[in-house]
Amino acid sequence: MRKIHAASDVNVQTQEPWWVGVDWFFLLLILALLIEGLIAVYSTSVAFAVTRTDKPETYFIKRQLFFAVVGLVGMLTTWRIGYEPLKRHPRLVVGLAAGVLGALLLLLIRNRLSGGPGRTLLGASLQPAEFAKVVLILYLSVWLNTRRRQIRDWRWELAYVGAITGVFALLVLLQPDLSAALTVFTLGFMMLLLAGAHPKQLMFTLAVGLVVIGVGLPALRWLYPVGIQRITDFWISLIDPLRVGGHMREAMWAFLRGGWFGVGIGMGKSKFYYLPLPHTDSVFAVIGEEWGLVGASVVLLTYALFLWRGLQIASRSPDPIGQLLASGLVLWITGEAVLNMAGIVGLLPQAGNVMPFFSYGGSNLTAVLTSLGLVLRVAQEARLREARYRGEGRAILDLRGRNRRRRVSRARGAAATGRH
């Protein structure tokens, strides 16, 4: 029966126009975040290009606009294709994972030959770590969907998920990119949680991760001294707020200068010399200065609505793989934003996570927009299925009503015949 229903669902989707069943509210939230982000990138990147590089002042915003177009094309493509091919042919996602792992290995080889660290390929146009996050969510969604009944097996299922996540995280860490590696590890843990793993499995996974981090701390100090210094500065600021680090202090000053309504878009001062990387890591501080507390709150509200709607879409998905995909992708995007903003205001260490849609970076923007096409498809399939079932329900009620009227009319006719 399930196969018949699935086939009928596909037939309904292919017969309907493309706009039927679209979650317009979620699509508007995506476009709102994209437009807000492009405004922020324009304001911050012009100052960065003029004062700290020899690039033209519009260099960064032009590149960001280009990748926004690429990402929108990717979103439309994944939206139209959907995730049905991944369900029918799981080897496709294996090929995607192999391709991303190959890119990460190629990056490490390139770094080895050049004698220095690096995170990008193709002339700083491709950052494999950003696509690794998306592909890991896709891979685990498909694999966990096929192993739903065995997910609570301590020996093999947990070990396999841990091994896959560990390989991705290790290759990212060796670039070195500590924040992205920790994000990859967190994504693996999160997907286990969403798939319904046993609490003991989750606690065991978390304990193993903490032990690995503790054992590898000396290596982390050597591989990523900047990240370790950020964590140290954060703990110092908790003990003695007067000794807060320079980055966090300048971010706080930016918010204070912004006040309630900000100094105006493009009119901020902190992005010129005071904040490190104002167009990427520190973009939320510039938003606080130029847009004010009200503008920053609007950004937070947009992210909150994005998360709420995305999880609502996941809960209405017609199948488990759609639930895992939608919830995993939405939680990843929102989680990165929360980590970035919390680091800027001093609630967490500044881990170097990007602020999706707002931080400059073509790979992240392309990966985010392309992956959201799948979430839009999950929403559309859920709505089409609900509409089909409502139509079947109305048809059944109509048939019952007709049968009832026929029985009543026959009974009346028989009674009339009996009287005569």
Q: What one-letter code names the amino acid at 47?
A: A
Q: 341-364 burial string, b = 16+ CB within 10 Å, else e?
A: bbbbebebbbbbbbbbbbbbbbbb
Q: What pLDDT score does 174 carry?
A: 85
Tokens of 66: 């280009």
197, 330 in Cβ contact below 8 A? no
What's the pTM value of the predicted model, to 2 decimals? 0.86
User: Which residues are within 8 A (CB) of 172 and not within 5 positions of it... i.e. 6 or more apart?
Assistant: 104, 129, 132, 180, 181, 184
309, 25 in Cβ contact below 8 A? yes
Q: What pLDDT score does 144 carry?
A: 87
Q: What pLDDT score does 368 carry?
A: 98
195, 148 in Cβ contact below 8 A? yes
User: Which element (helix H / strand E) includes 6?
Assistant: helix 2-15
Q: What pLDDT score does 410 carry?
A: 57
Q: What pLDDT score does 59 carry?
A: 93
Provide the H-helix boundaries in 58-121: 59-81, 84-88, 91-114
pLDDT tens track of the chain, all 420 residues?
Answer: 334 344 344 434 445 677 778 899 999 999 999 999 999 999 999 988 888 888 888 999 999 999 999 999 999 999 999 999 988 888 899 999 999 999 999 999 988 888 777 787 877 778 999 999 999 999 999 998 887 766 666 566 677 888 899 899 989 988 888 888 889 989 998 998 888 777 777 777 777 767 766 666 666 666 666 666 677 777 776 666 656 667 778 888 899 999 999 999 989 988 887 888 898 989 999 999 999 999 999 999 999 999 999 999 999 998 899 999 999 999 999 999 999 999 888 888 877 789 999 999 999 999 999 999 999 999 999 888 887 777 655 555 555 555 555 555 555 555 555 545
21, 380 in Cβ contact below 8 A? yes
Handedness of CA 123, 128, 129, 133 (dihedral sign): positive
- Count Cβ atoms within 10 A of the Cβ of residue 367 and give its class: 0-12 exposed, 13-18 middle, 19 or more buried: buried
Q: What pLDDT score does 299 carry?
A: 97
Tokens of 304: 């909150």
